[in-house]
Amino acid sequence: MKLVVIIFVFLFNIIFVNAEEQSGYLSNTHINVEGNEIKKLSDNNYNTIEKINLNSILTVSNEKPFDKIYIIYSMNSSKGTIKYNNKEKKLGENSFLHELINLDEEVQSVDIQYNSDVEIKEIYVFSKDLPDWVEDWSLPCREADVLLFTAHSDDEHIFFAGLIPYMLNRGKSVQVVYLTRHLKTPIRYDEQLAGLWAVGLRNYPILGPVPDAFSKSIDMALENLKSANMSIDDVVHFEVDMIRKFRPKIVVSHDENGEYGHGQHRLATYALEKSLEHMDDVNYKSVYNPYKPYKIYLHLYNQNQIVMDYDKPLENYNGKSAFRVSMEGLSKHKSQLRLIWGKWIKYNSVDDVKEYNPKYFGLYYSSVGYENKDNDMFYNIPEKQIMEYSHGIVTQKNVHKKTIKKAKSNNKIDSFYAYITAGIIILLIIIDIYIIIAKK
């Protein structure tokens, strides 16, 4: 029996101790600031925050070698420098709240120094492959096929549920632009990024200038703007700039009535409609060149309607439907799941949604005609080859290939554990039979 215990412990170590190395995540990371250990930066809790002062030296170390560092900032990142083995690497250059830094060699310790005060929630280190939850963002699109104007974090998985994975599966580039900022609830930024990453988006989203504030009408939303020292012209200017910057083929936004009446949903679409007269106006003040999209679709708009097929299995998502993929994104918004929309994550079909169904849109504006065929938002829009961008953005097809390759890699790991587990069971049975025979 002692032999059985020894073999079991040995195999337990193979499976469970090496599981950490299989995922690439390394625990027992030590983080020090000026010689003082800061445990809250490695407690796996995004609600604990540490302020790192300008020019302070933050040392990250682990007894095991690592070549990747993942930093979760609070509200804003900061530019800085990471030093290791007499080398330097810049960080914070892209203002990503979740930033992955790839080192060019394995180390056991690095020193980080920021150019300004910064608040950090968590720091992780990795070796080998990354777990699926680690986000390695690309820059926003240079040019987008689809520009989604959404009011708040989570609206993209509720009133536009299915849209992002559906378009990505077609090889279309998608840029998400939020109207609001969640200044009082920063955890929603973490949920926002996790949700977008879960549905396959890799281009970093854009945050708008409007503070999140509930309102029941467009008039209340405009009053809230005044309280923030803003006007409708500021929102229109922002949306014009985003359209000119990303030069999308189509733009998608909220129901004119704000779905359930939310004033900021209405504001997003109200400003978009007012933006139409300025998008290609050469006299309108903007840092970007004039541009007008081919089409603008509004959720639930009752003219020129189109019905999206969000229950069709998607090839690049292992046969999951676009709706179900979006529900996986919605599930990342844990702070919002107590709301009525939280029940959506249990729905199997988009047709289970009885109010504000996300598959219904109407064509509000078109420069290529209002004819609808095959419920295709891109019908009549000229095809254009997607660019390979010099600054490192990859096409969505390449993103899918990487995602699929990663999924296959994870399947191999799962198979490895399954084989080992089966081997343990068989081995224990053989040993038990041997013991019984020996006793006889």
Contact (CB, 8 A) for 197 and 177: no
Query: pTM of this prediction?
Result: 0.84
What b/e sequence results for 132-161 when a residue is b if at least 16 CB atoms lie within 10 Å of its CB, and e otherwise? eebbbbbebbbbbbbbbbbbbbbbbbbbbb
Superfamily name and number for 146-377: LmbE-like (3.40.50.10320)
- 25-126 homologous superfamily: Galactose-binding domain-like (2.60.120.260)
pLDDT of residue 408: 40
In angstroms, the Cα distances linking 217 to 56, 182, 188, 266, 271 are 47, 20, 24, 8, 14
Q: Report whether 80 contacts 115 (CB < 8 A).
A: yes
Helix (H, G, I), strand (E, B) or coil at 98: strand
Bridge partner residues of 110 (DSSP): 60
pLDDT, position 384: 65
Cβ-proximal residues to 412 (8 Å cutoff; 6+ apart), any chain: none
pLDDT in tens, the chain (440 residues): 544 433 443 343 433 333 344 467 889 999 999 889 999 999 999 999 999 999 899 999 999 999 999 999 999 999 999 999 999 999 999 999 999 999 999 999 999 999 999 999 999 999 988 999 999 999 999 999 999 999 999 999 999 999 999 999 999 999 999 999 999 999 999 999 999 999 999 999 999 999 999 899 999 999 999 999 999 999 999 999 999 999 999 999 999 999 999 999 999 999 999 999 999 999 999 999 999 999 999 999 999 999 999 999 999 999 999 999 999 999 999 999 999 999 999 999 999 999 999 999 999 999 999 999 999 999 999 986 444 332 333 333 344 444 434 444 444 444 444 445 455 656 666 666 666 566 55
Query: Which is nearest to 31 in space by CA: 59, 56, 9?
Result: 59
Ordered by start, the domain boundaries in the chain are 25-126, 146-377
Q: Identify whether the C-beta of residue 125 lies closer than 8 Å to the C-beta of residue 98.
A: no
